[in-house]
Structure 1
């Protein structure tokens, strides 16, 4: 999506002046470190490309840092992906994150949150929310679901592209989505298995694990919670739900957090809501749209495109307000259910956030 819109800008700008795009600064007190890891699951072949004998994944870990002195800020995407989505001649420079490469972790063991992106999107697409959580004392692990994501760059420079074939007929769509979900759940559980063996394991409290994701990533959070009790709390950001969780009784905390039209149009939310047996929350943000819950909310308004191109994607709500609301409620949920602290923000509507409605 961002690549397509950048291409529109490039085509309409004959002599561009390069303008840097930016992500909003995190609100937490902690400085942020980040590292990437290449994980290989030798127990299974790649489910989308038959010639690949092992399932390969890329993850990033975002964490509170003891110091960031001498550690440069990480780019939003890796160099090979940057060259593909923002080629030479573009009037924009892609963002730099607020995470510092390889910075030493802060003392202590911190709750862990997993992040899964939407179908076709990369692990970087939720950076605005991810690094804010890290700045408030969480370790956040973002996962690329290879060949489901549009672009995944490995340390040797290989770039894996999307390889999920569209369904052969409309009747096959649900079966395909169930396979996508199953692969993602397996990916996530493998990542969970590996966390205790990573160099940053000492900074992770793996007895306090949550998960969130946008769109299909939100369905993945629910699917992982159904399959794996290590994940104690989850959030679905505007994603339809698929898979076995719709027939189960999920007894751990879950938040459905969506755009103001999503819940009314998606019967899978009603089905899941009726099956939730733990603490449950269903919130909507007025004026938001499906990709409001990704970095597109921050970046698309900076491109100078007409409203008729931007508003269907990220809504009419202002970017700063939308992001502030999402950060506040996502953090309040994990603070309550992974740290057993926080106020009553999730209990009732707040006059500070009139855009947020609580659904029965």
Structure 2
């Protein structure tokens, strides 16, 4: 297994990445990294209801509900700056992490600087679609850095919140409780991944005919339990061409015949001392193109916005992997994988062996 200098590879891929100026970062308090692609980014939010399906976790609530934020390539200078979270979502997310990171206050989260714009005019043409499924108990907004970057590179990214699976996801009527949060210990993770796969197929149905989207090129990228959902959605829906699991389980363990990328933290998915045996179990059953990467120094949230925002908020402990580098690596490897398998491109990053350590 070879050790590669991922930072050098990342710089080769990103070229002249736009920087956040000190003035901009200071004015916003917290700031997401600027997207690395050439396009400006638009953003719109959809509230979807699957009236053919009762919510699996809170049946008395009625039909299954989903919140979806679409990020898309946009005409530069149109629209207005999108907030990271509204005040209710910010308060709920701050409360979720108050014990571990009390510095991450609602006031700071509300002021987080994003790069997408609400009401921005879309660029012409149909784009490949990337569905994003977040980790359990965290909202879709925690994948905003990845979503904005993908949109700047020419993709439409659809970040999905699954009802009652996050403590800080706002639906029409308010922020829903994480009623399902105790379920993994009771019923396992596979039923939740199966439910999310159904959610994602419904989102694909709802986006059919959207003028921004090329439905012939679809991928699912998920963090944590969202990663299990990515694999499960591929098995259940042939419209999904490729998938990425960011430090999540591969449950249920079952065959997978299309391109799939596994990117994990050493704490959970180091091949030499894994805490999650599902990756080892499923590997021989993956018959399509496959790669497995361990991001050296990463913790479970290094693939999301959270480590960076906590650091910027004044968290005093040192992260083994610099959070900004964690985001850059995640963006680079995910984009290189999607470019190869949705767009027919090639990248030096994807020349890695079947299993490598990066960082």
Question: Bigger shift: 205-214 or 75-84?
Answer: 75-84
For residue 79 of structure 1, report the CA deviation from its aligned partner: 3.4
Offset at residue 48 of structure 1 (A): 1.4
Q: Give 3-state SS (helix, strand or coil) of 1:75's partner.
A: coil
- Answering whether residue 182 of structure 2 is matched by residue 166 of structure 1, we say yes
CA distance in 1 between partners of 2:226 and 2:181 (Å):
19
Equivalent of residue 339 in structure 2, options 335, 350, 354 = 335
Give 1:93 deviation, angstroms.
Answer: 4.6
Which secondary structure state, in structure 2, belongs to the residue aligned with residue 120 of structure 1?
Answer: coil
SS at match of 2:61: coil
Summarize the Cα distance change of 1:146–1:271 in structure 2 as closer, same or farther, 3 Å threshold. same
CA change 1:89–1:52 in 2 (3 A) is closer
* Larger relative contact order, structure 1 or 2 (CA cutoff 8 Å, min sep 6): 2
- The Cα shift of 1:104 comes to 1.3
Aligned residues: 319
Where structure 1 has 5 or more consecutive residues not aligned to the other structure, the ranges are 1-16
1:269 to 266, 279, 282: 279
CA contact (8 A) 1:18 1:90 kept: no
The alignment status of 1:149 with 2:166, answered yes or no, reads yes
Q: Which residue of 2 is the match for residue 184 of structure 1?
A: 196
Q: Contact 2:45/2:67 (CA < 8 Å) preserved in 1?
A: yes
Q: Does residue 117 in structure 1 map to residue 134 in structure 2?
A: yes
With over 3 angstroms needed to count, the CA separation of the structure-2 counterparts of 1:261 and 1:76, relative to structure 1, is same
Query: What does 1:73-152 align with in structure 2 at a 5 Å threshold?
Result: 73-85=81-93, 92-94=108-110, 95-152=112-169
Q: TM-score, normalised by structure 1?
A: 0.83
| Structure 1 Cα separation of the partners of residues 94 and 193 of structure 2 | 30
CA distance in 2, matches of 1:165, 1:333: 31
Scaled by the length of structure 2, what TM-score is found? 0.83
Give the Cα–Cα distance (whole angstroms) in 2 for the partners of residues 42 and 58 of structure 1: 14
CA distance in structure 2 between the partners assigned to 1:216 and 1:340 by the alignment: 28
Q: Aligned partners of 2:279 and 2:56: how far apart in 1? A: 28
Q: Structure 1 residues 25 and 49 mapped into 2: Cα distance closer, same or farther (>3 Å)? A: same
2:114 partner SS: strand
Change (3 A) 1:341 1:174: farther
The Cα offsets for residues 197-244 of structure 1, whole Å up to 9 and x where unpaired, read as 5xxx1111000001101100111000101111111000000111212x
Q: For residue 231 of structure 2, what is the aligned residue in structure 1?
A: 222
Q: Once the two structures are superposed, what CA deviation does each residue of 1:44-73 show, in whole Å capped at 9, x if it has no partner? A: 11111122121111100000002432x111
Task: Tell me the C-alpha RMSD between the 2 structures.
Answer: 2.3
Cα 1:182–1:68 change in 2 (3 A) is: same
User: Does 216-225 or 92-101 show the bigger shift?
Assistant: 92-101
Q: Which runs of 5+ in 2 are unaligned?
A: 1-25, 96-103
| Cα distance between partner residues in 1 of 2:105 and 2:312 | 17
Query: CA, structure 1 residues 154+259, in 2 after alignment: closer, same or farther (shift >3 Å)?
Result: same
Q: Which moved more, 1:44-53 or 1:212-221?
A: 44-53
Please give the alpha-carbon distance, in whole angstroms, between the structure 2 residues aligned to 1:211 and 1:247. Answer: 17
- Which residue matches 1:54? 63
What do the CA deviations read for 1:115-151 (whole angstroms, capped 9, x no partner)?
Answer: 0000111111111111101000000001001101222
Q: For the structure 1 residues 84 and 166, does the alpha-carbon distance in structure 2 shift closer, same or farther, using more than 3 Å as the test?
A: closer
Task: State the alpha-carbon separation in 2 of the partners of residues 149 and 30 from structure 1.
Answer: 31
**Which segment is superposed worse, 122-131 or 86-95?**
86-95
Equivalent of 1:344, from 342, 348, 353? Answer: 348
Partner SS for 1:21: coil
